[in-house]
A and B are shown apart, each in its own frame.
Chain A
């Protein structure tokens, strides 16, 4: 492996990993607090991407305002879906929650198909996203650098929120033991709503960079990030925020490695290989790389 390929590989892993880390973080925020594997998370991303498309195409607002509106709409989707669909299931079985989130995801997908169009739409991207910059002799679009920077800022923000504010402490308590946290006076509705809002904000950020990469938005676009989020979360450990971030980077590493090393005839099976790795991981090490609170994952 020559030096250039190596540097390119590192940049790819870091930029893709940053995106995947954000996706995984959005999933794990909700999972950590209400034990819900949110199938509708992919659709939060789609909503934000559609807002990007509509606001960006049909208005002359500056790009930063468009981005803010997209992120805000992601947060709103998260908040509303919790309020309408998930709140009635508080304290019910895991399967009921899973099935509900699956149904919410189907409802949103079909609504996009029905209300907007089953075909994909081009998302406008600010010009500076696609400027090529040269780094250590490797040319890469500026958006990759922006993505890494944004992720670092967001991770620091999340860290401060969770460590330094009373809201963060309440959330950590709730994810550790929800019942005890409530007994200590943590307001359950607030904490769960905030978790969904943060998840939605992250979905909004993901939507910006995801649609900048693909350049378009279509009703089913959420399934790609959702699967990536699943894998990353599983690799990192279902319970911890640090685990999700680590999982995102590990996933990007494995995916890039497979793309580099797999013969082209096997390349279309990459997803299958990834998921076999996930299954093996879950069977052998169900608590993930970073261990969270105690849970009974294996029963025999």
Chain B
């Protein structure tokens, strides 16, 4: 017999660790602890380095990480690619900026803005949360009928929705200053610590979501729609709940982004941003939280490195703008062909997985329940 029964192995593993079978820290919650530890470790190291340029890159990467986690929350659990996601990031960015700006500043910057929007004023953190809430409410209003569509038609509707959101963000001058840049003014409020704090919360939440009953129902509907339905799961409803939750996290990331970069346009929340998130999820592995985490890490490192190269080349007279995206796109296609579940292969990083790396072969498929 080459392979043991997985259930047997789990009991065996649990027994060998001396823990109870249903609350197994090392196989379940260690994921969150490890991911948070890695992230904070990098964060503290970069803070200790104290080079503003690197600190900036790290902060923006952490915001992207939050955005990717929200993207993975829906895509990984429901198995549906959500093309409209960056639209909600954009909505969160603009809404939180409108909430947090001083009314007098708004009147000066965008004189034609609706008066009731001009009067709004909230401190930074509540503004970001309110922005995320706006994104979530908009998702909640539009999403219900869309959750019933699947396959190509479902993808195209989500894509169409992204375009609608983009046109509204870039043309509705009374709200977003139209095609012109929306400048927040003031100083940067999303510092390295704010971003890190939110990222830790979001990692914990996304992992909790995956293990919650809603996450499990969603994954059931991903693996087999008909089996899910016959077990009494209303998959349109669970998809809807997952979609709306993911829009909230997207909005949150958008709010943090706008208070980091301080001037935004609708163009920042469109195809190239979507492509960035997609490449991270594909390279890391869309099925697991760790996949999104490591995908973000890999793509960010690759892109920053390539961008330095681009800058160097451009300075020496050869215009190399856009090269990093070509490289990432090729990398993404190679991953899709050779390793469709990404570097993590759909598995989570956990103490047990780490331990299994150093064990004799027959115990290595504990978490590899895919094949």
> Hey, which bits of chain A sit against chain B, CB under 8 A?
31, 35, 37, 85, 88-89, 92, 94-96, 98-100, 102-104, 106-107, 109-111, 113-114, 118, 223, 227, 230-231, 234, 238, 268-269, 271-272, 275-276, 278-279, 282-283, 286, 295-300
Contacts and interface: CB of A to CB of B under 8 A. Distances in A.
Contacts of A234: 153, 156, 160
Contacts of B325: 106, 110
A36 B225 CA distance: 22
Contact of B163 (A100, A271, A286): A271
Contacts of A298: 148-150, 153
B147 A300 contact: yes
A136 to B, nearest CB: 36
Given A107-B326, A283-B145, A300 B321 contact: no
Contact of B329 (A107, A230, A268): A107
Contact of B236 (A114, A279, A299): A299
Interface of B: 81, 145-157, 159-161, 163-164, 167-168, 171-172, 225, 235-236, 271-272, 275, 278-279, 282, 319-323, 325-326, 329-330, 332-333, 336-337, 340
A92 B157 CA distance: 21
Given A102-B275, A234-B156, A279 B161 contact: yes
Nearest to B225: A299
A109 B272 CA distance: 11
A275 B163 contact: yes
A223 B270 CA distance: 12
Contacts of A85: 333
A183 to B, nearest CB: 24
A299 B227 CA distance: 13
A119 to B, nearest CB: 11
Contacts of B172: 269
A249 B156 CA distance: 20
B157 A279 contact: yes
Contacts of A89: 336-337
Q: Which 9 A-B pairs have the closest CB atoms?
A: A110-B322, A272-B167, A300-B236, A300-B148, A103-B329, A275-B160, A297-B153, A268-B171, A283-B145
Nearest to B279: A103
Given A103-B333, A269-B167, 15 more contacts: A95-B155, A103-B279, A103-B329, A104-B329, A110-B329, A114-B319, A230-B159, A269-B172, A275-B161, A279-B157, A282-B153, A297-B153, A297-B154, A299-B148, A299-B225
Contact of B149 (A223, A271, A297): A297
A297 B320 CA distance: 43
A282 B326 contact: no
A35 B152 contact: yes
Contact of B332 (A103, A111, A230): A103
Contacts of A275: 160-161, 163-164, 167
Nearest to B80: A95
Contacts of B155: 37, 94-95, 98
B278 A99 contact: yes
A193 B346 CA distance: 33
B148 A99 contact: no
A112 to B, nearest CB: 9
Given A106-B275, A279-B160, A99 B150 contact: no
A99 B152 contact: no
A238 B171 contact: no
Central interface residue in A88, A272, A296, A298, by most chain B CB within 10 Å: A272
A114 B148 contact: no
B149 A37 contact: no
